[in-house]
Chains A and B, each alone.
Chain A
Amino acid sequence: SQELEQSPQSLIVQEGKNLTINCTSSKTLYGLYWYKQKYGEGLIFLMMLQKGGEEKSHEKITAKLDEKKQQSSLHITASQPSHAGIYLCVYNQGGKLIFGQGTELSVKP
């Protein structure tokens, strides 16, 4: 079955710094979702990437899908404390959702 591995597992950055989170798949990615989970809350949809080479941005968050590398990256520019949380990449495999293990981001003011 397909597996998603995220790196790093946790990240502490100073406010204002840029950061990148990676999600690597064991098989070809035909699209990918990125979600954010704040402690004790549900998952918040960030972006959906549907094809190789696609890049999407929302506010200060940019996500790319590199189909050949079976990888997606999430980049945050000028991080803020509000960006703190757990970032999850998710793949929809025939209805069953495959989750990365998550990357916990802390932003120091």
Chain B
Amino acid sequence: GAGVSQSPSNKVTEKGKDVELRCDPISGHTALYWYRQSLGQGLEFLIYFQGNSAPDKSGLPSDRFSAERTGGSVSTLTIQRTQQEDSAVYLCASSLGSGGGPGELFFGEGSRLTVL
């Protein structure tokens, strides 16, 4: 597709269940970011992938959160044993490059997660 695609757009789950959120970046984009936005809060950095380099996982809030990026393209964010505080909109973004050379960032529409 032309833009960053995220799925599902909406997910309601029960506390304690595992969830997987998917991000399909724009073809050819080497950088991929995951952010989340809780109600009334700003955007919180989660994890960043750049090419074949080891991802920057410094923003993951706990070991229940993990993410992978297969083949340098699609990324999956997995939340295990979900808690109510995990409820948020999870946003994915991709860009051609990173670091000091700013490139245009393209955001997906987000996956809204609600943990009951």
Per the bound structure, the CA–CA distance linking A48 and B103 in Å amounts to 8
B100 / chain A contacts, CB cutoff of 8 Å: 30, 94
Tell me whether B110 and A48 are in contact (CB under 8 A): no
Per the bound structure, the CA–CA distance linking A52 and B106 in Å amounts to 23
In the complex, how many residue pairs between chain A and chain B have their CB atoms under 8 Å apart?
60
Q: What is the CB-to-nearest-CB distance from A100 to chain B, in angstroms, rounded to a whole number?
A: 8
Tell me whether A102 and B50 are in contact (CB under 8 A): no
A42 / chain B contacts, CB cutoff of 8 Å: 4, 91, 107-110
Tell me whether B99 and A33 are in contact (CB under 8 A): no
Q: What is the CB-to-nearest-CB distance from A47 to chain B, in angstroms, rounded to a whole number?
A: 10
Q: 6 nearest interchain CB pairs?
A: A42-B109, A43-B107, A95-B98, A99-B43, A31-B102, A42-B107
Tell me whether A41 and B33 are in contact (CB under 8 A): no
A92 in the interface (beta carbon within 8 A): yes
A99 / chain B contacts, CB cutoff of 8 Å: 42-43
B12 in the interface (beta carbon within 8 A): no
B91 / chain A contacts, CB cutoff of 8 Å: 42-43
